[in-house]
Amino acid sequence: MFVKPFRYERAESLAHACELLRSAEGYAKVIAGGQSLLPLMNLGLLELDLLIDISRVDDRSSGLEDGYITLGAGLRHGDLLLGSPVMDRQPLIPAAAAWIGSSRIRNRGTLGGSLAHSDPSAELPLVMTALGAEYTLTNGTSERTVSADEFHVSYFTSALEEDELLASVRVPVLGPGWGWGFAEVARRKGDFALASAAALARVADGRVVEARLALGGVHERPMRFGAVESAISGATADELGARVGPIEGLAPVSDTSASAEHRAHLARVLAVRALTDAVRRGEAA
Ligand code: FAD
């Protein structure tokens, strides 16, 4: 496949990248790790007039402030895995990042790229939805904050305006009494998920006080499932399987990897698995 010739610019700052997006003649996109964009271009599914490289200016820092973790959009998936004082405070993120592709993909792919790409099967949009993350978007002159839930609109569609970039992400640290769980089924290790579940549970006296459940790969975007969260209130870890029935509101699709029915079945199994892990960890917390 021949890729249509395009112009390449290396941005000197995020503001410069936004300016280039605004003033571009034709279709322009930024490239960060290139692990989603380049396959699309190589397969002829995406033709660009201008490619703007932000890989030297995106923010790769992480920090802790007032009970929240701040993550720069330029952090590589591999950075999210490392046992560090920051990542250890929200273990759901490293647990999910470990499922992404291979080490080659994790060394190049970025947090911002994965979230902006908004693949409903991807791990990072899923955990950010479960955690109620806030994303900071910039157009170079002003910033706005949107929740993960507002940001991930549909298949490969986000709330980003054409001249906006994702700059950073803010998530709460894992609170006292809270446990976490992440479960996924893929055809091979490193493949995209057929279905996945990210869960958090606050536990007291062995029973669920509060829970958060988000599912991936079974809807046009990662989504919380409030009915399941309510249904398990007061349950012990052993009672979860009986409390979680068939999950309402799924919209899985059939493709060459799995049928919609199989994905819906997996969603329930993985929800119970992730919630059980979350409750058991919450008991021990
Ligand atoms: P790029 O490819 O550079 O960009 C992706 C999109 O995001 C583009 O539209 C780009 O314009 C936009 N973008 C990038 N950065 C920003 C920003 N800061 N602000 C606004 N827009 C931005 N992903 C998974 O989640 N799970 C997997 O199991 C998985 N397996 C993979 C297996 C293979 C073989 C490959 C090639 C990829 C796989 N991926 C998987 C995708 C990988 O995680 C990508 O790294 C990620 O989706 C995109 O990050 P990136 O930095 O490479 O983004």
**Torsion angle in degrees (nearest 10) through CA of 98, 99, 102, 106:** -50
Q: Which two tokens stand for residue 10?
A: 């290396």
Residue nearest to atom 47 of ligand 1 (CA): 114
pLDDT of residue 206: 96
Residue nearest to atom 25 of ligand 1 (CA): 122
| Predicted confidence (pLDDT) per residue in 225-261, tens digit | 999 999 999 999 999 999 999 999 999 999 999 999 9
pLDDT of residue 70: 97
Query: What is the 108 CA–ligand 1 centroid distance (Å)?
Result: 9
| CA of 125, closest atom in ligand 1 | 25
pLDDT beneath 50, residues of the chain: none
Is the torsion defined by CA of 109, 126, 71, 141 positive or negative? positive
The DSSP letter of residue 239 is: G
Would you say the CB of residue 146 lies under 6 angstroms from ligand 1?
no
pTM higher than 0.75, yes or no? yes
**Torsion angle in degrees (nearest 10) through CA of 88, 156, 218, 121:** -40
Residue nearest to atom 27 of ligand 1 (CA): 100
